[in-house]
Amino acid sequence: MSVEPLPVAGGMPLDPSPEQMRAMGAAVTEALVAWIGGLADAPAVATEGALEVAQRLASAPTDGGSDDFAALLDDALEAARHTFEYSGPGYLAYIPGGGLYTAAVAEFLAQGLNRYVGLWQPSPAVVQLEENVTRWLCDLFAFPPETSQGVLTTGGSLANLSAVVTARHAKLGHDFLDGTYYVTNQAHGSNTKAATIAGFGPDALRIVPTDAELRMDADALEAIIAEDRAAGKRPFLVIGAAGTTNTGAVDPLDAIADVATRDGLWFHVDAAYGGFFVLTDRGRARFAGAERADSITLDPHKGLFLPYGTGGLIVRDRTTMRDAHFEGAAYLQDLPPAGDLPNYNELTPELSRDMRGLRVWWPLSLHGVSAFQDALDEKLDLTERAYAALEADPAIEVGWHPQLTVVAFRLRDGDEGANRALLERINASKRVFLSSTLIGGEYWLRICIVSHRTHADRIDECTAIVREAAAAVGG
Ligand SMILES: Cc1ncc(COP(=O)(O)O)c(C=O)c1O
- CA distance readout (Å), 51 to 71, 85, 93, 459: 19, 16, 21, 30
Write the residue with the smallest CA distance to atom 7 of ligand 1: 156
pLDDT of residue 339: 87
Per the DSSP assignment, residues forming a β-bridge with 160 are none
Ligand 1 midpoint to CA 190 (Å): 7
Name the residue among 369, 402, 404, 403 with its Cα closest to residue 387.
402
The DSSP code for 455 is: -
pLDDT at residue 8 in the model: 52
Which amino acids bring their CB within 6 angstroms of ligand 1?
A: 95, 155-157, 160, 188, 190, 241, 245, 270, 272-273, 299, 311
Alpha carbon of 430 to ligand 1 centroid (Å):
25
324 CA to middle of ligand 1, Å?
Answer: 22
Ligand 1 atom nearest the C-alpha of 157 is 11
18: CB partners within 8 A, 6+ apart: none
Under 8 Å between Cβ of 439 and 408: yes
The pLDDT of residue 68 is 92
Q: What is the pLDDT of residue 475?
A: 63
Residue 422 CA to residue 404 CA, distance in Å, equals 24
Which amino acid, one-letter code, is at 352? S
Q: What is the pLDDT of residue 1?
A: 47
Residues 431 and 43: their CA atoms lie apart, in Å, by: 6
Q: Which helix (H) or strand (E) segment is 372 a member of?
A: helix 369-391
Rounded CA separation 308/99 (Å): 8
Ligand 1 pocket test, pick from 299, 301, 306 with the greatest ligand atom count within 8 Å of Cβ, gives 299
Closest CA relative to residue 352, chosen from 332, 330, 333: 332
Closest atom of ligand 1 to CA, residue 245: 16
CA of 101 relative to ligand 1 center, distance in Å: 22
Query: Distances in Å between the alpha carbon of 24 and those of 7, 77, 267, 427?
Result: 17, 14, 48, 36
User: Could you identify the atom of ligand 1 that is nearest to the CA of residue 94?
Assistant: 14
Predicted confidence at residue 87, as pLDDT, reads: 96
Q: Using CA of residue 265, residue 271, residue 275, residue 277, what is the dihedral sign?
A: negative
pLDDT of residue 415: 96
Question: Using CA atoms, how far apart are residues 185 and 94, in angstroms rounded to an integer?
Answer: 17
pLDDT in the model for residue 10? 72
Judged on CB neighbours under 10 Å (0-12, 13-18, 19+), 289 is buried
Residues 190/156, Cβ–Cβ less than 8 Å:
yes
pLDDT at 67: 87
**Residue ranges in the chain modelled with pLDDT below 70:** 1-9, 475
Do residues 444 and 418 make contact, with C-beta atoms less than 8 angstroms apart?
no
Per-residue pLDDT tens over the stretch 295-311: 999 999 999 999 999 99
311 CA closest ligand 1 atom index = 10
- Determine the atom of ligand 1 nearest the C-alpha atom of 154: 10
Whether 126 and 359 have beta carbons less than 8 Å apart is answered as: no
The pLDDT assigned to 290 comes to 98
User: What pLDDT score was predicted for residue 470?
Assistant: 98
C-alpha count within 13 angstroms, C-beta hemisphere, residue 138: 22
